[in-house]
Structure 1
Amino acid sequence: MKAFVIERYGKQEPLHLAEVPEPKLGEQDVLVRIHAASINPLDLKIRSGALKRILPLRLPLVLGNDLAGVVTQVGTKVQRFKPGDEVYARTDTRRIGTFAEFIAVAESNVALKPPSLSMAEAASIPLVGLTAWQALVEKGNLRKGQKVFIHAGSGGVGTLAIQLAKHLGASVATTTSSANVALVKSLGADIVIDYKKDDFAKTLRDYDLVLHSLGSEELEKSVGILKPGGQLITISGPADPEFAKNNGMPKLVQMIVGLLSRKIRKKAGKQGVGYSFLFMRGSGEQLSTLGELIHSGAIRPTVDRVFPFEETNEALAYVEGGRTRGKAVIQVVALANQA
C-alpha cells in the first residue's frame, strides 16, 4: 500500500511517499481502508522528535492519528463491526499511521461514522473531539453555570471544545484573531478576546476551568484567572508526574517529568488551583457519544481545507503555519472513488 513515511526525526523532515506492507490484523482489530485523515499539531510534534521520550515510536514511521474510512476486514474476536461499515477512529498512540491507504485499529477505538458527515468532515473529529471531551467532561467535570476559558478558539480543539462546553451549559470565553471572531461566536463563545489587541489575563477573573493549548506564557497567565479550586488543564504544557506514572514510564523519566512541570505546579498550588496534563487516548465509546451530539446538531465539524493525498506535505506545512480555522484534512481516497 502507499503511505507517507519519515525516516528520521526533524522539524522540517519531509514525508516520502512509499510502498509499505499492509498492516497486520490482530484478533481484536478492524482493518480500515482510509478515505480521509486529518492533520493535527501532534503530527508535527511527533515528526520533530519532541515527544520521543514519552512516546517512543519505531522509525521509519507513518504519521497520522485519526481517520474516517470503510472496514474491509475484521479480526476473529471483533464483535461490533463488519466489512463495509463506515467508521471513524483515533488510533492507539503506539499504532499511528493514518497517512496511508490502510490501517489496523483496535475495535475499542472505533465508532460508526455519523451518517450526516462526509468522510472528510468525520476525519476532522476524532482527535480534537476526544481531547475536548476528556478535558471538559472527564478531567474538568464541567457543569452547567460554570465558566470555562478555552485558548485558541478557532483551532481544531478550540472549535470542538467551545461547542461541547456550551452543550454542557457553561459560559465560554476564548481568544482568537479579529478575522475569526465571527466564527467562534457562531460556535457559541460568549466572550471573545482578540489576542493581538487585548490580554486575557487582564480581562477574565474567577473562572472554574481553563483549557490551555498554547505556550508557556499563556500557561502561567492562565493560573491567575482561575478561582480557588479551579482547574488548569493543558494539552501542550509540561506533563505532570501523574501522567508519567499512569503511563508506566521509568522512574528516571518520571523524575524528569516532575522537574519540568515543577514551576507551574508550584505556582498553581500557591493559587489554590489544580494543574493537570492531558494526552488524550482513543475511545470508540466516546466517539459514539460525540456522534450522537453531531446527529442532534449540538456539535458540527469545522473543516478549513481539504488536501489531496499526494499533497500531504503541503497539508502539514499549512497547519504548521498556525492559521488553520478548525481542521485541515487529507483526502486519501478521491471523492470519485468513494462510491
Structure 2
Amino acid sequence: MKAMLLEQYGPEPVFAERDLPMPEPGPGEVLIKVAGTSLNPIDNKIATLGSALAFAPDAPAVLGMDVSGTVAGVGEGVTRLAEGDPVFGCAGGVRGIPGALAEYMVADQHLLAAPPECMDLADAATLPLVSITAWLALFNKGGLRRGERLLVHGGAGGVGHMAVQLGVHAGAEVYATVSSPDKAAVVEALGGIPIDYRETPVAEYVADCTGGEGFDLVFDTVGGPTLDASFEGARIDGRVVSTVTRSTHDLSLMHAKSLSLHVVFMLLPLITGKGRGLHGRILADVAGLVDDDRLAVLLDERSFGFREIAEAHRYWQRGEAMGKIAVSVSG
C-alpha cells in the first residue's frame, strides 16, 4: 500500500511517499480502507518536536490520528463491526500505532463508531479528536449542567468551536473568548456570545456577563496565562477544565475561591490502551448530533490530499487556517 512517511522531524518536517506492507488486524482490531484524516495541532507538534514528546513515534513514521473510512477486514474477536461498515475515530499516529496517512490502517474496534450519515466520509475524519476532547471536558470532567454559565477560551478553535456547540446543546449560557471579528462571527453563528479578550479585561467581562459572580465552568484550550485568567473568571466553588497544563502557576486564587481543576489528556486511552470504549461511545453520540443538525465541524476553505501533507503542515504553521484541515486519502 501507499503511505506518506514522516522521515525527518523538525520545523519543516520531511514526508515521502513509500510502499509499505499491508497491515493485518490483530485480535479486537479492524483493517480500515482510509478515506480521510485531518491535521490537528498535536499532529504538527509530533512532526516538529519528535522524540521530545514521549508518545511520538520514531521516524520513519505514519502519522495521522483522526481517521475515517470503510472496514476492509476484521481480526479475531471483533463483534462491533463488519466488513463494509463505514467508521471514524481517533485511532493511531502515536508510538507503536501507525496512523491514517496511508491507504490502509489497523485500529482497535472500541475507538471507532459509525460516522454521521450526512457527512462526506473523508470529511468525517475532521471530527474525532476535537469532538471527543470537548465532550470529555464539558461532561465527563466539567459536569456541565443546564442553565449554567460556560466560558470557553479559544471559542473559534478546533476544540473550542465544538465546546461552544455542545454547551449550547446542553442548555448552558455559553460565552467564548476570541481574537478577531471573524472568530467572533463564528462563535455567534454557533450560538455563543463572543468576548474579545484583547480589548476586555477579565474582571470587566466577568462583571458584564455574570454580574460579577464568575462562570460556573471555564474550559481553557489555550494554556499559559489563559489558565490564570480561567481561575480569575470562575465563580467561587467553580470548575476549571484545561487541555494545556504543562506549565507552572500560582494556585493562590484557585485556593481562595475553592476551585476544582480538571485536566483532559484525550490521547491517554489511545496511548495506554485503557478506557478506549468511552471514545467509541462518545463518537456515536457525536454522529447522532451531527445528523440531527445540532453539531457541525467548521472546515477550512483549503483541503489537501495525503501526498500534500507537508504543505498542509506549512499552511497550519503560517496561521492561515480557519477551521479543521481535511486531508483526503482515498475515494
TM-score tier, shorter chain, comes to 0.7 to 0.9
> In structure 2, what is the Cα distance between the partners aligned to 1:138 and 1:216?
23
Q: Indicate the SS of the match to 2:238.
A: strand
Q: Indicate the SS of the match to 1:219.
A: helix
Cα pair 1:45 1:51 within 8 Å, conserved: no
TM-score normalised by L of structure 1: 0.85
* Equivalent residue, structure 1, for 2:313: 316
The Cα of 1:289 is off from its aligned counterpart by 1.0
Q: Indicate the SS of the match to 1:150.
A: strand
> In structure 1, what is the Cα distance between the partners aligned to 2:131 and 2:82?
24
Cα pair 1:309 1:330 within 8 Å, conserved: yes
- Greater CA drift, 281-290 or 131-140: 281-290
Q: Indicate the SS of the match to 2:303.
A: strand
* Equivalent residue, structure 2, for 1:278: 264
The Cα of 1:310 is off from its aligned counterpart by 1.8
TM-score normalised by L of structure 2: 0.87
* Equivalent residue, structure 2, for 1:241: none
Cα pair 1:193 1:200 within 8 Å, conserved: no
* Equivalent residue, structure 2, for 1:72: 72
Q: Indicate the SS of the match to 1:175.
A: strand
Q: Does residue 328 in structure 1 map to residue 331 in structure 2?
A: no
Cα pair 1:74 1:83 within 8 Å, conserved: yes
Q: Indicate the SS of the match to 1:220.
A: helix
1:186-213 alpha-carbon deviations (Å, 9 max, x no partner):
1110x21224433445312511111112
Structure 1 110/271 Cα, relative in aligned 2: closer, same or farther at 3 Å?
same
> In structure 1, what is the Cα distance between the partners aligned to 2:228 and 2:98?
32
- Structure 2 unmatched ranges of 5 or more: 207-211, 268-275
* Equivalent residue, structure 1, for 2:304: 307
* Equivalent residue, structure 2, for 1:63: 63
* Equivalent residue, structure 2, for 1:245: none
* Equivalent residue, structure 2, for 1:118: 120
Cα pair 1:64 1:97 within 8 Å, conserved: yes
Aligned runs of 1:88-167 on 2, under 5 Å?
88-91=88-91, 93-94=94-95, 95-167=97-169
Number of aligned residue pairs: 311
Q: Does residue 15 in structure 1 map to residue 15 in structure 2?
A: yes
Q: Indicate the SS of the match to 1:119.
A: coil
* Equivalent residue, structure 1, for 2:283: 287
2:204 maps to which of 189, 202, 205: 202
Q: Indicate the SS of the match to 2:237.
A: strand
1:216 maps to which of 209, 215, 224: 224
Structure 1 195/228 Cα, relative in aligned 2: closer, same or farther at 3 Å?
closer
* Equivalent residue, structure 2, for 1:39: 39
Cα pair 1:151 1:175 within 8 Å, conserved: yes
Q: Indicate the SS of the match to 1:12.
A: coil
The Cα of 1:183 is off from its aligned counterpart by 1.8
> In structure 1, what is the Cα distance between the partners aligned to 2:69 and 2:251?
41
The Cα of 1:322 is off from its aligned counterpart by 3.1
The Cα of 1:8 is off from its aligned counterpart by 4.3
Q: Indicate the SS of the match to 2:122.
A: helix
> In structure 2, what is the Cα distance between the partners aligned to 1:222 and 1:236?
12
Cα pair 2:133 2:159 within 8 Å, conserved: yes
> In structure 2, what is the Cα distance between the partners aligned to 1:99 and 1:231?
38
Q: Does residue 231 in structure 1 map to residue 233 in structure 2?
A: no
> In structure 2, what is the Cα distance between the partners aligned to 1:21 and 1:35?
18
- Structure 1 unmatched ranges of 5 or more: 239-259
Structure 1 231/12 Cα, relative in aligned 2: closer, same or farther at 3 Å?
farther
Between the two proteins, what is the percent identity of the paired residues? Answer: 32
1:76-119 alpha-carbon deviations (Å, 9 max, x no partner):
21011111111111115542511221110000001011111112
Q: Indicate the SS of the match to 1:7.
A: strand
> In structure 2, what is the Cα distance between the partners aligned to 1:51 and 1:275?
29
Cα pair 1:153 1:162 within 8 Å, conserved: yes
Letter in 1 for 2:239: Q
> In structure 2, what is the Cα distance between the partners aligned to 1:213 and 1:51?
24
Over the aligned positions, Cα root-mean-square deviation in angstroms equals 2.0
The Cα of 1:226 is off from its aligned counterpart by 0.4
Q: Indicate the SS of the match to 2:14.
A: coil
* Equivalent residue, structure 1, for 2:271: none
Letter in 1 for 2:45: K
* Equivalent residue, structure 1, for 2:190: 187
Structure 1 264/294 Cα, relative in aligned 2: closer, same or farther at 3 Å?
farther
